[in-house]
Amino acid sequence: MIGAGPAGLATSRELSRRAVPHIVLERGDQAGHTWANLYDSPVLHTGKHMSALPGLRLPDDAPLFPTRQLFVDYLQRYATTFSLPIRTGADVVEVTRANRGWAVRTRAGESVNARAVVVATGIASNPQTPSLPGRERFGGRVRHSIEYKNAADASGRRILVVGVGNSAGEIAAELSRAGAAVTLAVRNGTHVIPRQVLGIPIQYVSIPIGYLPRGAQRAFATFIGGAIARLRGRPVLPVPHPGGCPRVPLIGFHLVDEVRRGAISVRGDVAAFTADGVQFSDGTEQALDEVIFATGFRAEMRMFDDAVHHDPCGFGRRRNRVVSTDQPDLYFVGHNPDVRGGIFMIGRDARRAARLIQQGVPA
């Protein structure tokens, strides 16, 4: 197993209760390493009743939408409760075929042989930053959202946030409230939906929608967006282009409210850096102190070289949700984003992968 985040922990627990021997290789120094190193302020968009991994509920006194730190503590408790076989400091750099199985090599030179491999690296281990002309000329700070921690030094700074996903929305709104002059660069738009309706998390309402085809899911998001527009006024963010990879809507109105009150300006795509800022695709320029790319992540697949083909969204091609179409003893958990919530889907996929692995391992 590669990764000891939510997907790796859930799959390890499911394998353990099926008595399938395994080991979990984690590049960081603890279970839930990526969650432990996110920016300080995230709160889960999903309700606590559907944000738990198989076999262990979140604390009864947890808020409806748990904080990042509470969830990190939960992941630690999950690993301890089930005595999961995690090996930390094991950064996997290569996975190759060997002896009708796999040879998994870490950065430290350690090699582990396995009959099957589960990729549970999550979607925040391979940050994507666009390559823009002129970056070497820009004198300000440039970083990806994965490097952002908090807005402690934001006051008075001119900051461009590139992207309009949930991380972009949260970071931009936080920076604005801290006194930064924030601009948001939007290449593609987004649907904006409330985090809860009448006190009920929107995720709970979305559960049956998640079983519909993607076209129907997009139609539902459009309908919700239209209803919100009628209640809250004309949209301040562009709507997304049709088609493409599944996109999680922008959940909550923190960003929209900052834009509506004039605290955050919205611009189009960035074309290039200049010496003191950026040039947008319409040819206009803006002076900046900092650019934060909240441009998302790709699944971490580089360790397989060309042994695994990717789908258009960067995930390994798979059948039955979790099984590689290229390698029958290779599994993916956490690679099925859905309106029902990432952790909810991890639970389902972890059970499926563990069951299939058990069926393929001799007793």
Largest CA distance in the chain: 66
Helix axis angle for 6-17 and 342-360, nearest 10°, is 40
218 assigned to some structural domain = yes
61 vs 101: CA distance, rounded Å: 45
Does the structure show a pLDDT above 60 at 181? yes
* Angle, CA of 21, 89 and 105, to the nearest 5°: 65
Q: What is the reported pLDDT for 82? A: 98
**How many H-runs (helices) and E-runs (strands) does the chain carry?**
8, 21
Reported in sequence order, the residue ranges of 127-209 that DSSP labels E, i.e. its strands, are 141-144, 158-162, 181-185, 192-193, 196-197, 200-201
Helix (H) or strand (E) holding 17: helix 6-17
Q: What is the reported pLDDT for 362? A: 46
Q: What is the reported pLDDT for 243? A: 67
| Averaged pLDDT of the chain | 89
214 vs 183: CA distance, rounded Å: 31
306 assigned to some structural domain = yes
Closest CA to 254 of 43, 40, 37: 43
Residues 325 and 282 in one domain: no
292 vs 296: CA distance, rounded Å: 11
1 assigned to some structural domain = no
Domain boundary among 249, 275, 293: 293
Residues 252 and 161 in one domain: yes
Closest CA to 3 of 248, 335, 352: 335
Does the structure show a pLDDT above 50 at 363? no
Residues 122 and 256 in one domain: no
Residues 254 and 146 in one domain: yes
Residues 301 and 171 in one domain: no
Closest CA to 77 of 29, 28, 31, 24: 31
59 assigned to some structural domain = yes
- Could you tell me the strand order of the sheet in which 285-287 lies? 270-273, 277-280, 285-287
209 vs 296: CA distance, rounded Å: 24
Residues 324 and 287 in one domain: no
Residue 39 three-state SS: coil
Q: What is the reported pLDDT for 300? A: 83
Residues 289 and 141 in one domain: yes
Residues 212 and 256 in one domain: yes
Does the structure show a pLDDT above 60 at 361? no
338 vs 175: CA distance, rounded Å: 28
13 assigned to some structural domain = yes
Does the structure show a pLDDT above 60 at 99? yes
Does the structure show a pLDDT above 80 at 236? yes
The count of domains in the chain is 2
343 vs 10: CA distance, rounded Å: 10
Does the structure show a pLDDT above 60 at 72? yes
Domain boundary among 236, 258, 293: 293
Direct distance between the N- and C-terminal alpha carbons of the chain, in angstroms, rounded to an integer: 19
Residues 140 and 71 in one domain: no
| Per-residue pLDDT tens digits for 243-271 | 667 677 888 889 999 999 999 999 999 99
170 assigned to some structural domain = yes
Q: Does residue 124 contact residue 297 with C-beta atoms inside 8 Å?
A: yes
Pairing of strands 285-287, 200-201: unpaired
Q: What is the reported pLDDT for 186? A: 95
Residues 186 and 246 in one domain: yes
The pTM for the full model equals 0.89
Does the structure show a pLDDT above 80 at 227? no
Does the structure show a pLDDT above 80 at 279? yes
Q: What is the reported pLDDT for 188? A: 86
Supply 342's token pair: 């990432």
Residues 233 and 326 in one domain: no
286 assigned to some structural domain = yes
Q: What is the reported pLDDT for 290? A: 98
Domain boundary among 267, 293, 319: 293
Domain limits for position 301? 6-126+297-360
258 assigned to some structural domain = yes
191 versus 208: the higher-pLDDT residue is 191
Mean pLDDT of 72-81: 98
Does the structure show a pLDDT above 90 at 232? no
Q: Does residue 153 contact residue 141 with C-beta atoms inside 8 Å?
A: no
| Per-residue pLDDT tens digits for 108-166 | 999 999 999 999 998 777 888 999 999 999 999 999 999 999 999 999 999 999 999 99
Does the structure show a pLDDT above 90 at 75? yes
| Per-residue pLDDT tens digits for 213-223 | 767 766 766 67
CATH number for 104? 3.50.50.60
Residues 222 and 318 in one domain: no
Mean pLDDT of 99-107: 93
